[in-house]
Amino acid sequence: MSAYGTEPGAPTNDGNPGETSELPQPEDLGFGRYLGAHLVLAEHDGARWSAPGLLPRQALCVPVASAGVQYGLSVFEGLKAYRGADGGVHLFRPQAHAHRFAASAARLGLPAVDEALFVESCAMAVDAHRKLLPPYGRGSLYLRPTIHADEEFLGLRRAQRHRYSVVVSACSDPAMKRLRLWAEPHLIRAAVGGLGAAKTGANYAAGLAGLMHAQAKAYDDVVWLDAATHTRLGEAGSMNLFVRIGSRLLTPPLDGCILAGITRDSLLQMARRARLDAVECEISLDDLAIAQQRGELGGAFGCGTAARIVAIDEIGDSTRCIRFSAQDACVSRLCAALKDVQEGGTSDWPQWRYGLFG
């Protein structure tokens, strides 16, 4: 066991494998398993949010007879804090996450958390768990801000009490994996006008059966196609998609059916600054098959806060298998550049790193 997280008086984690004194080496943390012992909590009484405070994580009870549980009236975010090369600690693009959090809340009729409260509460959560933060380059502290309707009441209406919480989890630096994805032919996860662009549990609930289909066919994850024609790529279960065709780096557009990934946006901006031809456009399975026949299909990858960049080997359905290049240097270059930008191994994009403390 590693002692990188231990110090007298550090938060403990009763009943959780991530108890601070029992943390494994950063490379063995994985994702989502080692939760911090405390959470940050604020309450909305119908008028305003209270000041955020710290609470033992297991002290927060969520009533079963609340719209948060019964009707899925909750939204969340996922962002990371890193220890930089200089030993300081920073959040990656918290303002962008705050903005998306507010948009998700608005779509579900929940009270928004403003940017100042979002950043303050994330900083408080990191500060309370600073000893859980892996050393520079070896992992991160993942933060999960959540708003849920908390009033005990049965019936669909806007709740009069909401809670906002931030839970943290110590994570490994994601390994550069390679995935096989199943293009789901029958189920849909989101349609125009629906919830696809909101980060809310309903999207993941709607997606689990697709993931199970994919896994039953020995694929790693699902690719969601557009609801109207079942021909165009949307996103994977919890990642946005990029594909290289010829010299162009393509990603599906923000059509309201996919999440506006902060990683996707970061990569688009980085790629454009590096003068890559990065384009948001519709991508059909037929386009990919034609590019494959012409020998123009390069690499493909999924991206997101949790996984950073994951190479895609193939996308299959019951009639065909599209194989991407495993030798695309562009994918590994982007992954290394993104890691540097996120962790502060470069002075580029300083506006994306929100310094917390040294």
Binding site for ligand PLP (CB under 6 A): 78, 235, 238-240, 259, 261-264, 304-305
Q: How far is the CB of 164 from ligand PLP (least distance, A)?
A: 18
Backbone φ and ψ for 289, nearest 5 degrees, come out as: -65, -40
Residue 165 or 238: the one with the smaller Cβ distance to ligand PLP is 238
Residue 4 or 224: the one with the smaller Cβ distance to ligand PLP is 224
DSSP 8-state code for residue 57:
G
Question: How many residues are given for the chain?
Answer: 358
Cβ–Cβ < 8 Å for 109, 83: no
State the amino acid at position 322 in one-letter form: I
Q: How far is the CB of 263 from ligand PLP (least distance, A)?
A: 3
CA 102 distance to own-chain centroid: 16
221-225 and 178-183: which strand pairing?
A: parallel
Q: Where are the alpha helices (DSSP H) in the chain?
A: 67-70, 94-107, 115-128, 201-216, 262-273, 285-294, 329-343
Q: How far is the CB of 155 from ligand PLP (least distance, A)?
A: 29
Residue 201 or 344: the one with the smaller Cβ distance to ligand PLP is 201
CA 191 distance to own-chain centroid: 20
Q: Nearest CA to 147 among 299, 257, 44, 273?
A: 44
- Got the DSSP string for 146-170? EEEE--B--SSS--S-EEEEEEEEE
Residue 24 or 78: the one with the smaller Cβ distance to ligand PLP is 78
Residue 163 or 264: the one with the smaller Cβ distance to ligand PLP is 264
- Coil, strand or helix at 242: strand
Q: How far is the CB of 305 from ligand PLP (least distance, A)?
A: 3
Q: How far is the CB of 80 from ligand PLP (least distance, A)?
A: 9
Q: How far is the CB of 92 from ligand PLP (least distance, A)?
A: 10
Residue 4 or 301: the one with the smaller Cβ distance to ligand PLP is 301
**205-237: burial string, b at 16+ Cβ within 10 Å, e else:** ebbeebbebbeeeebbbbbbbbbeebebbbbbb
Q: How far is the CB of 267 from ligand PLP (least distance, A)?
A: 9
- Got the DSSP string for 324-341? --S--HHHHHHHHHHHHH
Residue 298 or 304: the one with the smaller Cβ distance to ligand PLP is 304
Q: How far is the CB of 165 from ligand PLP (least distance, A)?
A: 17
Residue 157 or 177: the one with the smaller Cβ distance to ligand PLP is 177
